Structure 1
Amino acid sequence: MDYIQSAKNPKVKQWKKLLTKKGREQTGLYLLEGFHLVEEALQFKNEIEEILYSENIMIPSHWNMDHVKITTISEEVSKAISETESSQGIFAICKKHQYEEKMMEKGKSFLLIDAVQDPGNVGTMIRTADAAGIDLVILGDGTVDLYNSKVLRSAQGSHFHLSIISMSLQKAISLLQEKGVPVFGTSLQSAESYKKVTIDDSFAMIVGNEGNGVSEELLQTTNQNVFIPLYGRSESLNVAVAAGILLFHFQDSLKSN
């Protein structure tokens, strides 16, 4: 087992690069932090490159870390690579998922995310899509990186359970419609209440940017656009909350058919 004490160690500098999108793209790796996420990662050992843990913490006795490279690090190193205020002192360096567009061929339920930039919102939507049993999440242009540390923390390990790809939503919509999947946009203009929509055997739902919603260009290509009626004085819903309402409603309709 290796031990790294100094935050100036070249390996630490490489780990810190994984906190940037550029560093993740160059290496094909990303950094997970925290007991829950590392425990989730251990269920997919082939995706783990290395586990790092601070010398002052105890590894849970039920964890099976056979055949996993382990490095002990000092508290100084732990603080250097952590992006949380109170680090739990445990990390995993993992390989990025290599999902492909062909994943679209098998699914019946899809969440398309258009230029959502808040990592907490994206992570929460991934976690919600996982809970709702959605088959595939598609991250469109302008959406925050899947492996952003805040996205990973908000998703709470759901990125291990779901198929998630990044691609042009224009292309995704075209491919979905070619296979007969109706695509629904979310909009307050020229839209029906989501409660009036009938789902037969598949659906794709698009949710959009926090400030601007789904782009007008995409809304013009959908089969139908829907909105969620509001009964109070608020003018809008948080995008992750709206996605949760719509995904569970549409999935319930799909499962009942």
Structure 2
Amino acid sequence: MKVIQSSKNPVVKQWKKLLTKKGRDQSLTYIVEGFHLVEEALKQGDIVIELILVEGTELPKTWNLVGVELIQVSEEAGKALADTETTQGVFAVCRQKETASIDESKTFLLLDGLQDPGNIGTIIRTAEASGIDAIILGKGTVDLYNPKVLRSAQGSHFHLPIIKGDLSEFISVLKEKGVPVYGTALENGEEYTTVKPRDSYALIVGNEGNGMSTETLSQTDQNLYIPIYGKSESLNVAIAAGILLYYFKNGQ
């Protein structure tokens, strides 16, 4: 097993680049941190390239490490890689997924310019739990492999197709297939419970501060809103997405 002591080691510097979108885009890899995410990554087959272990950290004996390079690093190097204040001492460098097919998908969640990594990760986790078939990340939305997105998603990004692209193009394709497209906005909106859930649909949620873009709003079949009964001006976008996704799933 290779051992690296210095945080200034070229290999560690290369790993640190994976904490940036530019570094991830150039290498088509990303890094996950913590026992749960690393274990979920190992379950996906051959996506884990390297497993990084801070000295003194013990790995579960049940993990299948066949074909995975195991590298031990010093506590100093581990801190340099950590995106958390208290690291668990285990990381994995993973291959990014190739573009997945959504031909067989019936239900879609589209994210229009979301900027908060925690919100995006929570939405992905909730969407996967509610049985959504595919997620489309529109332009201006934070990168899927951002460490905070991954931590909030808790491994859900491994379990369903997530595609980055132009929402307008995807919406046009969905409409050609007869998939109803629902936006989330007060403008020309109806209370969400007035819409009858369907087996196939696309739901769009927009930017935390500005909502959906004008261009995307112009393409929806119907806009929905969730009524506010208290004095709050709005709901957190992840909470709103969860309410709507489960409504469409269960009709309740």
TM-score, normalising length from structure 1?
A: 0.96
Matched, 1:6 2:3: no
User: Which residue of structure 2 aligns with residue 167 of structure 1?
Assistant: 165
Deviation at 1:179, TM superposition (A): 0.6
Query: Separation in 1 of the partners of 2:38 and 2:127?
Result: 21
Within the alignment, does 1:192 sit opposite 2:190 as a pair?
Answer: yes
- CA–CA separation in structure 2 for the residues paired with 1:68 and 1:166: 28
Hey, what's the Cα distance between the residues in 2 that align with 1:59 and 1:142? 38
> Aligned match of 2:153 in 136, 155, 166?
155
Letter of the 1:242 partner, please give it.
A
Q: Match for 1:15: what amino acid?
A: W
Shift of 1:201: 2.7
What do the CA deviations read for 1:27-81 (whole angstroms, capped 9, x no partner)? 0000100011001011013101100011111111222212211101110110111
Residue 58 of structure 1 corresponds to which residue in structure 2? 58
Indicate which of 120, 129, 134 corresponds to 1:122: 120
Greater CA deviation, 199-208 or 89-98? 199-208
Listed one character per residue, the Cα deviations across residues 138-171 of structure 1 (whole Å, up to 9, x for unaligned) are 0000000000000000000001001100011101
Deviation at 1:93, TM superposition (A): 0.1
Residues 54 and 74 of structure 1 are in contact (CA less than 8 Å); yes or no, is this contact kept in structure 2?
yes
| Overall identity of the aligned pairs, in % | 58
Alpha-carbon deviation of 1:104?
2.9
TM-score (norm 2): 0.98
Alignment of 1:69-218 (within 5 A): 69-100=69-100, 103-218=101-216
**Equivalent in the alignment of 2:227:** 229
Distance (Å, rounded) in 2 between the aligned partners of 1:204 and 1:104: 13
Q: Tell me how far apart the structure 1 counterparts of residues 103 and 197 of structure 2 sit (CA, whole Å).
A: 19
Q: Is the 8 A contact 2:102 2:161 kept in 1?
A: no
Q: How far has the Cα of 1:83 moved from its partner?
A: 1.2
- For 1:201 and 1:195, locate their aligned partners in 2 and report how far apart those are by CA, in whole Å: 16
Contact 1:52 1:70 in 2 (8 A): yes
Distance, in Å, in 1 between the alignment partners of 2:155 and 2:184 is 27
Letter in structure 1 aligned against 2:61: S
CA contact (8 A) 2:197 2:247 kept: no
User: Helix, strand or coil for the counterpart of 1:45?
Assistant: coil
SS of the residue corresponding to residue 235 of structure 2 reads coil
Distance 1:111 1:251 in 2: 13
Tell me the SS of whatever aligns to 1:112: strand
The aligned amino acid for 1:206 is I
Give the secondary structure class of the aligned counterpart of 2:44.
helix
In 2, are the aligned partners of 1:45 and 1:68 still within 8 Å (CA)?
A: no
Residue 49 of structure 1 pairs with residue 49 of structure 2? yes
TM-aligned CA deviation for residue 202 of structure 1: 0.5
Partner of 1:247: 245
Compare 112-121 and 200-209 and name the one that shifted more.
200-209
Q: Per-residue displacement from partner, 1:230-251 (whole Å, max 9, x unpaired)?
A: 1111110000000000011112
CA–CA distance in structure 2, aligned partners of residues 65 and 174 of structure 1: 43
- Indicate conservation of the 8 Å contact 1:50/1:92, yes or no: yes
User: 1: CA distance between counterparts of 2:172 and 2:102?
Assistant: 11
Runs of 4+ in 1 over 3 A off after TM superposition: none
Structure 1 position 200, deviation (Å) = 3.1
